[in-house]
C-alpha cells in the first residue's frame, strides 16, 4: 500500500508535467527549484508535508486534500483528466477577471449603449444552453 507521501509525490509529479518543466512548477508554487527537486525530482529526499500539500493545491486551484488521493492508476490517465480539470479552472478564473473588469467599467460609467447591447446579446446566446431544472 502506498503511503500518503508516495501519493502526494505522484500527484505533484503530474502537476509538474502539466506545467511543462520543474522551473515552471517551482514558479507556480513559489518554491525554490532545489526544494522542488528534493520533493519530486529523480531522487527525492524529502516528503511533501501537510502544509506544503495544501499550498500546492492552492497554487493550482485544486480542492483541499486533492493531492492526498490517487485519482487514477497510471500517469497518462491522470495527466489527461488533470489537464481537462485545470483548463476548466483556468477558464473559470479568466471569467472572474472579465466580470471584475465589467463591474469596474460599470462603476466608472464606461459601458455605453453599444457595449451594453453586445453584453446582452452574449448573455442571451448563452441562456438557452442552461437548464435551470437541475
pLDDT tens string 19-74: 889 999 999 999 999 999 999 999 999 999 999 999 999 898 788 999 999 876 66
Residue (of 10, 16, 22, 18) closest to 72 by Cα position? 10
pLDDT tens track for 79-128: 677 777 777 777 877 888 899 999 999 999 999 999 999 999 998 888 77
Whether the CB-CB separation of 70 and 7 falls below 8 Å is answered with yes
Helix and strand totals (H; E) in the chain: 6, 0
Q: What global pTM score does this model have?
A: 0.62
What is the number of alpha carbons within 13 Å of residue 40 lying toward its C-beta? 26
Domain residue ranges of the chain, discontinuous segments joined by +: 1-71
Amino acid at each position: 500500500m502506498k503511503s500518503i507521501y508516495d501519493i502526494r509525490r505522484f500527484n505533484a509529479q503530474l502537476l509538474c508535467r502539466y506545467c511543462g518543466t520543474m522551473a515552471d512548477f517551482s514558479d507556480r508554487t513559489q518554491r525554490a527549484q532545489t526544494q522542488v527537486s528534493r520533493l519530486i525530482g529523480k531522487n527525492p529526499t524529502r516528503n511533501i508535508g501537510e502544509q506544503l500539500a495544501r499550498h500546492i493545491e492552492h497554487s493550482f486551484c485544486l480542492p483541499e486534500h486533492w493531492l492526498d488521493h490517487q485519482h487514477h492508476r497510471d500517469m497518462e490517465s491522470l495527466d489527461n483528466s488533470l489537464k481537462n480539470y485545470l483548463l476548466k479552472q483556468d477558464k473559470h478564473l479568466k471569467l472572474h477577471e472579465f466580470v471584475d473588469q465589467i463591474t469596474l467599467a460599470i462603476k466608472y460609467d464606461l459601458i455605453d449603449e453599444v457595449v451594453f447591447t453586445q453584453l446582452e446579446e452574449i448573455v442571451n446566446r448563452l441562456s438557452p444552453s442552461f437548464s435551470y431544472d437541475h
